[in-house]
Structures are given as C-alpha cells and as structure tokens.
Amino acid sequence: MTLVYVAIVLFSVLVGLRARLAWRRRQLQRQWRTAPLGVVEQDHCFGYINMVNLVKHTAAGTYYENSQRIVDANPQLKTSSMYVAGQPVIVTLDPENIKAMLATQFTSFHLGKRHSIFYPLLGNGVFTLDGEGWKHSRQILRPQFHRDQIVDVSMFESHAHHLIQEIKNSKPGAVVDLQPLFFSLTMDVATEFLFGESVNSLGQKQLPFSESFTKAQEKLTFRFVLQDMYFLGDGPQFRKHCRTVHELADHYVERALAQSDTKTEGKYTFLNELVKQTRDPKVLRDQALNILLAGRDTTASTLSFLWYELGRNPEIYTKLKDEVDQRFAEADSVTFESLKRAPYLQQVLKEVLRMYPIVAENVRFAAEDTTLPRGGGSDGSQPIFVAKGTNITYSPWCMHRDRDVYGDDANVFRPERWVDLKNPGWAYLPFNGGPRVCLGQQFALTELALVTVRMVQAFPQGLPFSGDSTYPPLKHVSLTISLKQGCPVKVT
C-alpha cells in the first residue's frame, strides 16, 4: 500500500505542476497578446510515450516518416506543441517562424547546450559557439570560403578519379556499396582542403583518424539527444577517440605555424590561410575540426542519396547523361562556371537536397521571453508566446515535402519540378539560413556536381540500385542522416 500511496502522491504532484505551468502559460499569452498553440500527439504521460516512439522509430530507420505522418494528420497546424520526456517542445514548419528564428529575431534564439555537448571533440568552433565567440569565428572563417578558393576544381578531380578507380576495381555485375566510398572520398577532399594533405582513406582499411572521428561523432549524437544529461555520454573510449583526432589535427596545425615562419608560398591550404588570422593553435585546431565535421558527412550522405535515386530512376539518369555528354565532352570542359550552367544537373542537385536535407531536423532555444509571428489561434495566423529556454524544433525534412509549396507529388524524386518552381524562400533550407547559413555551400555544391559528372561519364550505363526495395529508404539518424542499409549498386 505504501508504494501505491507514494505513486499516487507523485502523480498528483506532477499533474499539479503541469496544471500550474499551463495556467502560467495562459497568463503570459495574455500579457504578450498572443494566442494559444495547437497540440499534436497528445501524451497524457508527460511526453514519455512520445519519447519512446521517437526512440523506436529512430532505431527502425523511420524517424522522419513518423514525423511526416504527424504532419499529414494535422495539415492545418504548421506550428504546434507537444511534450517529449517531460519537456514542452514547439515544432514549427512555418517559413515565417523559421525566418524569425534564423534571421529577423536572430539574437532572441541560441543553440542551447550545444557548446558543452560538442566541446570534447570540436572545442570552440563556428558550429558550437553563440554570441561574440560565434561572430569572431565567422569573421575569421568567411575569407577561407571566398569564391577564389573554390573555382579551382583540380583537387576534386584527383579524388573523383580515385573514387572511380575504386568502383572499377570490382568486376562488371558485382555489387558495390557506394556509401562508405563516398565517406572516404569526402574525408580525403576535406583533409586536403583543410590540412594541405589528404589522409588518403580511399582504398585503405579504416584509418585510426577516420575511425576515431566517426566514433566520436556517434557519441556526440548520443550526448545531443541527452541534452541537459549530456555528461552521461562520456567515458574513456570517447575521450580516447577525441585525442586521436586532436593529435592528427595538432600535427597539421604545428606544420602550418612552422610554414608561416618560413613565408613559403604554395597551393591554397585552409590552415595556412587561417594562420594569417590567428596563431593560437587551439583556435586553429577547433575551427578546422568544425569545418571537417561539416565537410565530410554532409556531402557524403548527399552523394549516397543522389546515387540511390539515380540507381532507381534510369530515365532521370539517361536525361542527366545526355546533358553531361553534350556539355562536358572535352576533358577540360568541367569548370566551376560550366557546372553552374548545366541546368538539369543543377535541378538534380536541388531535388536531392530537397528530398534528403542532410540536417533533416534542427533546433533553437529561446534566449529570452519572446514571440514568433505565426502559429496561434484556430487558423495558426496569430503570434505565439515563447518562454525563455523553450525548445523550438524545425524540420527541413517535412518542410521540403510541403504540398502547398512543392505540389501533390512532393514525396517523389522529380528534378523537373525546379523548371517552373518559384523561389521557395524559407521553405527550402538545405544549407540553413540567416547569419548562420552554411559557409561551405558553394564548396559542397561544386564537389557534388563534379563528382556526379565524372561518375556519369565513367558509367554510361548507370549504376542500378541493388538493395532493399523499401521506399522511402530507411535512414540512420545521427547529427546528419545517411542510408541505414547503404547504397549497394551493380557495376556496369
């Protein structure tokens, strides 16, 4: 009886606290002259059933399909609230709210615990910092992604050639998983750009640096899910992987500092240029690793999803090949400018970034009591109150499938939609937006375009997809998304 009594008391306390919070929220809504939010996935167990469902769908590879199911079941709610593990969460797909968070009300929102969560691996970098620290990071990094640094495609060419040779090492008819090859490719490109020297992971067994970077990143994902309890995602193995990554990065930082003393000029290297902005070795290491995190996984996953779709859609592949044959017949015809001028290639890239935004869900936290412009009232058109500390989640995955913007076939991979599609503005966020828009956007697009062109030229018959027929594909969720079952294709 004692345990039953204790359970009843605890339950009553929780119900009372929730009722008081609801009363306080209504008071603040009146004070700020805002309207209440709609609620989806009502969970009378304080959001713990929602949490179990999220974990279940993440493990199954259907996390984003579950999110889309909720959106489809509540089409009138572009912004809503729900409880997850006892915490209130605002979920918004409204471009006006996202514009407010990322741009017009930028200072009213921050990254929450991201700095503490990511610090053991990434330190004080452009992706972990807020406020003045972030501004300084952005200021010293922006010149490194000037157009002059990415118009030379020769670095991409050498690694694309190596990738193609790796695929061709398999006999015709053999099945090859492209996804790990793409991850090796982008690691090699990123390390050459950052350090002036590639780790040459293509064609080798897992290198200690690459393996440790992957393992440490997986732990960062776990820490991010834990949020306030992130310290539970620590331990000697995690710290060991971080040290392995730091040791290699420190080696290249020391070399860049030494080379700056000799004033020798060579090819462009990110670290050598960054040394002109700061000589602090920890700043150099932290910023380089922040860029590496963005430069490897995002592009590798995008290439994987792209070749997954090309392998499933031979008619799209044929149309793309026709354009490649026409525009890039000469060996030296692939340039930064010519890639930009290939219309169907650009439509294909826009479509894969729409269907599979690699950062498929993102989050901000209110830095102060504030409002968002839409989501309140019966039609969702009135402002809403956002209390300090509130988690606001936005989902490019679901936004990019909005039928009001992309048409009734928004769940279909169809590059041709971009011929007549008006600029979707804040409804299209493959590279985020506002002051924190991706610095490496043009670098990534150039790498994606060049690798795609060279692979189409190398495999004129295509690389038919040879994996599970489940569609949409199951996805592995970490800081980015990837194909849970890889991208197996048949070599032709």
Backbone angles phi, psi at 469, to 5 degrees: -80, 0
pLDDT at 27 over 80: no
Residue 326 binned pLDDT confidence (cut-offs 50, 70, 90): very high
438 annotated among ligand-binding-site residues: yes
Coil/strand/helix, residue 175: strand
Write down the pLDDT at residue 32: 66
Residue 116 binned pLDDT confidence (cut-offs 50, 70, 90): very high
Alpha carbon distance 49, 332 (integer Å): 58
Alpha carbon distance 332, 483 (integer Å): 33
Write down the pLDDT at residue 204: 80
- Looking at residues 401-409, what average pLDDT do you find? 96
pLDDT at 357 over 90: yes
Mean pLDDT of the chain: 91
Coil/strand/helix, residue 340: helix
Write down the pLDDT at residue 10: 65
Q: Which of 84-88, 230-234, 392-396, 463-467 has the lowest mean pLDDT?
A: 84-88
Alpha carbon distance 265, 98 (integer Å): 44
- Spatial contact of 36 and 376, defined as CB atoms under 8 Å apart: yes
Write down the pLDDT at residue 226: 83
pLDDT at 292 over 70: yes
Residue 50 binned pLDDT confidence (cut-offs 50, 70, 90): confident
Write down the pLDDT at residue 435: 97
Query: Pick the residue with more confidence: 378 or 360?
Result: 360
Q: What is the dihedral of CA 426, 429, 431, 435, to 10 degrees?
A: 30
Residue 331 binned pLDDT confidence (cut-offs 50, 70, 90): confident
pLDDT at 19 over 90: no
**Highest mean pLDDT, choosing among 53-62, 66-75, 444-453:** 444-453
pLDDT at 145 over 60: yes
- Spatial contact of 47 and 86, defined as CB atoms under 8 Å apart: yes
Query: Pick the residue with more confidence: 195 or 25?
Result: 195
**What is the token pair recorded at 194?**
């950052």
pLDDT at 303 over 90: yes
Percentage of the chain beyond pLDDT 90 is 72
Alpha carbon distance 408, 120 (integer Å): 45
- pLDDT tens-digit map of 77-105: 899 888 777 788 999 999 999 999 999 99
Residue 288 binned pLDDT confidence (cut-offs 50, 70, 90): very high
pLDDT at 327 over 90: yes
Percentage of the chain beyond pLDDT 70 is 91
pLDDT at 447 over 80: yes
Residue 190 binned pLDDT confidence (cut-offs 50, 70, 90): very high
Alpha carbon distance 104, 126 (integer Å): 20
Write down the pLDDT at residue 3: 67
Indicate the burial class of 5 (C-beta count within 10 angstroms; 0-12, 13-18, 19 or more): exposed
- pLDDT tens-digit map of 450-463: 999 999 999 999 99
Query: Pick the residue with more confidence: 37 or 491?
Result: 491
pLDDT at 232 over 60: yes
- Spatial contact of 318 and 159, defined as CB atoms under 8 Å apart: no
- Looking at residues 258-262, what average pLDDT do you find? 82
pLDDT at 157 over 60: yes
Q: Which of 27-36, 259-268, 306-315, 377-386 has the lowest mean pLDDT?
A: 27-36
Alpha carbon distance 339, 260 (integer Å): 34
Query: Pick the residue with more confidence: 104 or 7?
Result: 104
- Spatial contact of 210 and 200, defined as CB atoms under 8 Å apart: no
